[in-house]
């Protein structure tokens, strides 16, 4: 049997929409991670519509967190069962975080094979999608409980049908507690009762939701080509981002880290726990999808020092939030000799990394979509961009 293990970064504008395929190349199993913003829904719907009708039951949908650039496409998709259904959905919704949140007892800790307006909008979308998910398998792999990494013990691992292993890196319990507080306050400001399903359904009108953002001052070309480190940070403290579900996906002895918008200190800590359990200082990965679209606020030297990886994926068109940050990409190519950068858009933010002088200065390679309407993909079995 010919096997496939492939990640696609669909063109989700400033957001994330990732399609992971694994197993029998003639009939792959699939996992969808996030749905991008509503304005990019066409790319997601077209990709799913291209699947054979008998392959539209996906193993899993992971909705990493409640930000619009990850969740809005899912809001719409869950109303179109003709495009996709899911055997399980991982998402920390209001029913999960509204309950008492506490660490599991030690015996159960086993590896089982922004601003006020944006906070309110994210909370509303998270509450609305809970209505869409209700009645489906929801966090079934966690027995319906919240998805999080315990403070001690092995990292939670789940194996999907067909042999894909997912190891959880984020969020931690404290991140969900902070999310509950912010979510509750946002719902109070919006005068919304999360238990009033009829009112919530009335709000599901498919509207787009975006927020403004100030741009970082870009480094000069000389600074970008220099071997001297550029400053990362300040570290992201957005509550929604901190609640991101981040995982390592493993199949056929290949590993890819899918980091959502998770916070760098959380990722560094959980990767450190995994590396320590394996008796190594660094974790070998075949690819990493950079957190938060290549934001310098979600990458740190400590995190980079935990990872041995040549291939780095960045999902964003550079609009709205002006990602990726040059400082983050510079940190990667400076740390990783011969790094390979895979961008799902060629944009003003990403094109400079393909300039001959830049590639000569750092020795990296940059890859861009052959077909802009399809985004970019990586064949994890061969290591080839496609």
Give the pLDDT confidence of 262-302 residue by residue, as tens digits.
Answer: 999 999 999 999 999 989 989 999 999 999 999 999 999 99
- Tell whether the model's pLDDT for residue 189 goes beyond 80: no
Strand partners, 158: 166
How far is Cα 97 from Cα 109, in angstroms, rounded to an integer? 19
pLDDT tens digits, one per residue of 31-60: 999 999 999 999 999 999 999 999 999 999
The pLDDT confidence band at residue 188, using thresholds 50, 70 and 90, is: low
pLDDT tens digits, one per residue of 348-379: 999 999 999 999 999 999 999 999 999 999 99
> Residue 225 has what pLDDT?
84
> Residue 95 has what pLDDT?
83
Look at 155-169, 182-196, 259-273, 300-314 and tell me which has the smallest mean pLDDT.
Answer: 182-196
> Residue 203 has what pLDDT?
44
Q: What pTM does this model have? A: 0.88
Name the residue with higher pLDDT: 163 or 101: 163
- Tell whether the model's pLDDT for residue 306 goes beyond 90: yes
- Domains detected in the chain: 3-100+114-209+218-385 (3.60.15.10)
- Tell whether the model's pLDDT for residue 196 goes beyond 70: no
- Tell whether the model's pLDDT for residue 197 goes beyond 60: no
Q: Which of 91, 194, 99, 95 is nearest to 148 (CA)?
A: 91
Cα–Cα distance list, 54 to 12, 57, 144, 233 (Å): 25, 7, 28, 46
The three-state secondary structure class of 88 is coil
Q: Which two tokens stand for residue 215?
A: 């741009």
* DSSP strand pairing (18-24 vs 85-86): unpaired
Spatial CB neighbours of 4, under 8 Å, sequence gap ≥ 6:
21, 22, 23, 24, 25, 28, 379, 381
- Tell whether the model's pLDDT for residue 81 goes beyond 90: yes
Q: What is the largest CA-CA distance in the chain?
A: 59
Q: E-strand spans in the chain? A: 3-9, 18-24, 29-33, 57-58, 60-62, 85-86, 89-90, 157-159, 165-170, 246-251, 254-258, 283-284, 287-289, 307-308, 311-314, 340-343, 365-367, 376-379, 384-385
Look at 16-25, 72-81, 356-365 and tell me which has the smallest mean pLDDT.
Answer: 72-81
Q: Averaged over 188-205, what is the pLDDT?
A: 49
- DSSP annotation string for 209-271: -----PPPPPPPHHHHHSSSPPPP-SPP--HHHHT--EEEEEETTEEEEE-TT--HHHHHHHH
pLDDT tens digits, one per residue of 139-160: 999 999 999 999 999 999 999 9
**CA atoms within a 13 Å half-sphere pointing along the CA-CB vector of 36:** 23
> Residue 186 has what pLDDT?
67
């Amino acid at each position: 049997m010919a096997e496939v293990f492939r990640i696609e970064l669909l063109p989700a504008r400033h957001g994330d929409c990732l399609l992971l395929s694994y197993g029998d190349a003639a009939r792959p199993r699939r996992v969808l991670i996030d749905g991008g913003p509503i304005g990019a829904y066409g790319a997601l719907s077209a990709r799913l519509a291209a699947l054979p009708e008998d392959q539209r039951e996906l193993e899993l949908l992971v909705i990493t967190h409640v930000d619009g650039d990850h969740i809005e496409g899912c809001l719409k998709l869950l109303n179109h069962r003709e495009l996709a259904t899911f055997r399980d959905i991982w998402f920390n919704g209001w029913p999960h975080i509204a309950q008492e949140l506490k660490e599991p007892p030690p015996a159960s800790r086993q590896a089982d094979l922004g601003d006020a307006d944006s906070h309110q909008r994210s909370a509303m979308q998270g509450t609305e999608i809970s209505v869409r998910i209700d009645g489906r398998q929801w966090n079934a792999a966690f027995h319906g409980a919240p998805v999080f990494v315990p403070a001690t013990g092995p990292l939670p691992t789940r194996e999907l049908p067909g042999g894909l292993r997912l190891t959880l890196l984020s969020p931690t319990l404290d991140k969900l507690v902070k999310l509950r507080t912010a979510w509750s306050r946002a719902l109070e400001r919006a005068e919304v009762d999360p238990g009033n399903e009829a009112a919530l359904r009335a709000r599901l009108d498919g509207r787009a939701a975006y927020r403004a953002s100030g741009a970082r001052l870009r480094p000069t070309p000389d600074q970008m080509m220099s071997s001297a480190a550029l400053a990362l940070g300040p570290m992201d403290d957005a509550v929604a981002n901190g609640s991101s579900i981040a995982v390592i996906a493993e199949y056929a002895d290949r590993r890819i880290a899918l980091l959502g918008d998770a916070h760098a200190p959380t990722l560094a800590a959980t990767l450190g726990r995994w590396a320590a359990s394996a008796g190594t200082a660094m974790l070998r990965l075949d690819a990493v999808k950079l957190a938060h679209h290549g934001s310098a606020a979600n990458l740190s030297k400590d995190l980079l020092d935990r990872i041995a990886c040549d291939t780095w994926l960045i999902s964003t068109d550079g609009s709205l939030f002006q990602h990726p940050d040059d400082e983050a990409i510079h940190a990667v190519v400076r740390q990783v000799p011969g790094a390979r950068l895979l961008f799902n858009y060629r944009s003003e933010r990403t094109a400079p990394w393909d300039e001959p002088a830049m590639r000569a200065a750092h020795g990296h390679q940059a890859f861009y979509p052959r077909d802009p309407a399809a985004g970019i993909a990586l064949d994890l079995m061969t290591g080839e961009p496609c």
